[in-house]
Amino acid sequence: MMNAKRKIVGTGHGRPVDGALLRRRRALLDEAGRIIKANPGIDPDTVRHTLIMLGKKPIERLELALVRGRRAKC
């Protein structure tokens, strides 16, 4: 059952999207934009990925890095 306090504001690829999720994504993109503007030539995808990873718990970052490393090994 969906939390009554969460407001569904739109759709994402045919699925309802949580307003709080949209605000977090927008804030992340805004911060990435500020970093990119202050550091011309930096890779925008790297900035975005780094900010996403910093928002995760250390154990989650480690697990994702191990998965990525295993894929690269193949």
Domain ranges of the chain: 10-73
Give, to the nearest 10 degrees, the angle between helix 44-54 and helix 19-38. Answer: 130
User: Per the confidence metrics, is the pTM higher than 0.75?
Assistant: no
Q: In the predicted model, what is the mean pLDDT of the chain? A: 85
pLDDT tens string 21-51: 889 999 999 999 999 999 999 999 999 999 9
